[in-house]
Amino acid sequence: MEDKYLQRGVSASKEDVHAAVKDLYHGLYPKAFCKIYPDYMAGDAAWCNVMSADGSGTKSILAYLYWRETGDISVWRGIAQDAIVMNLDDLLCVGATDSFLLTSVINRNKKFIPGEVIAEIISGTQEFIDAMKDAGVTIHLMGGETADLGDIVRTVTVDAAMSVRMKRSDLILTQNIRPGNVIVGLASYGKATYEKEYNSGISSNGLTSARHDVLSKYYAEKYPETYEKSIDPTIVYSGSKKLTDQLQETPLNIGKALLSPTRTYAPVIRKILSALPGQINGIVNNTGGAQTKVLHYIENLRIVKDDLLPVPPIFDLIQTESQTAWKEMYKVLNCGTRLELYLSETHAAEVIDIARSFGIDAQIVGYVESAMSNEVEVDSAHGNFIYQ
């Protein structure tokens, strides 16, 4: 998968990007899950500003394909949710649960993306904000930018940035993860009480692989605007499936499964932090980097994941179609266990009960040990894998 990623113009680990920013100011707590800065707006030393910037990535191309193939324009609403949640759930990881500020950036090629698609994305943004308000999580939409960039963008990109001002005393910092903590994992799949339909668990990572490795050459021939012409044609839409094929063991077709909107855990984390103030040592959102994500935020710890939640069908499909080694799958895709909470085992049962009250499966998926250097071990039904 990693070699295919590079050939497709994608870096899974982004070493060059990390090198480019290594000398920049990384905030008050460089090992925190989000960038945390002094309270520049009000100058109060007891408060801080937290920022995140992310987007839906190449998932917007899948929305384009599905819309063009089926006429279902509503899939663009899910792309709006993806762009928001990829920021929102990172902010949850430092303990922020309310009063978020949101701005969005949409770049399109007007030749392929008409105004009604933009309207659907904007409507999807407001729809998600309204749903979160009903769940007790306030997001303020502060406007954004829509640009026509036909010379740069083939179809459309949907990105967002979010910020929140919070008390430093409320911060959850991954530097507090310690030996003896257990890890409670929350499922990325299923149907939460605040979701409209079954969620495949795909989130918004690994979609370049999912698109090209799962879908058939039919899409390259019919929609050449959806891929870069310089890519080796043998790895362009090299799978065997159509978007409308059924995904076994789920109520979704493959297109809808790949487009399942990224699940937010905001209502769940809000309730957990209210019930257990000061008891959560760390929260990690397994998006880019997947089960190895935590390696960026710890010092001299060994993270053992020996009971991850079941791998849902969408990831089995991607693995079968791409023939990617499972060690790489766990590094690129969440494989069913997306959000991790690090805490004392004393409170694990309460966290699990709260998650399940929202219809989200959860369990203790591992534990933390001291070590001479950072390491993640994934001991799964598909093999035992070590990451450093």
Residue 132 has pLDDT above 60, yes or no: yes
Helix H or strand E segment including 323: none
Confidence band, pLDDT 50/70/90 cuts, at residue 314: very high
| Average confidence (pLDDT) over 197-205 | 96
Residue 18 has pLDDT above 70, yes or no: no
Residue 2 has pLDDT above 70, yes or no: no
Helices assigned H by DSSP within the chain = 2-7, 15-21, 59-70, 75-92, 115-134, 207-214, 218-222, 254-258, 266-275, 313-322, 326-332, 348-357
Helix (H, G, I), strand (E, B) or coil at 294: helix
Q: What topology is assigned to 2-387 in CATH?
A: Phosphoribosyl-aminoimidazole Synthetase; Chain A, domain 2 (3.90.650)
Other C-beta atoms closer than 10 Å to the C-beta of 348 total: 18
The whole-angstrom separation of Cα 256 and Cα 69 is: 12
* Least confident among 2-6, 121-125, 128-132: 2-6
| Average confidence (pLDDT) over 369-387 | 97
The whole-angstrom separation of Cα 297 and Cα 293 is: 8
Helix (H, G, I), strand (E, B) or coil at 368: strand
* Least confident among 153-157, 204-208, 316-320: 204-208
| Average confidence (pLDDT) over 346-355 | 98
pLDDT at position 7 is 66
Mean pLDDT over all residues of the chain?
95
pLDDT at position 259 is 98
DSSP calls for 213-249:
HHB-THHHHH-GGGS-TTS-GGGSS-SSB-TTSB-TT
| Average confidence (pLDDT) over 359-382 | 97
* Least confident among 224-238, 239-253, 268-282, 354-368: 224-238
Helix (H, G, I), strand (E, B) or coil at 376: strand
Confidence band, pLDDT 50/70/90 cuts, at residue 10: low
DSSP label of 253: B
| Average confidence (pLDDT) over 34-57 | 95
Contacts of 13 (CB under 8 A, 6+ apart): 289
Q: Which residue has the tokens 């939460």?
A: 192
DSSP label of 73: T
pLDDT at position 12 is 57
Residue 328 has pLDDT above 80, yes or no: yes
pTM: 0.94
pLDDT at position 306 is 98
Helix H or strand E segment including 31: none
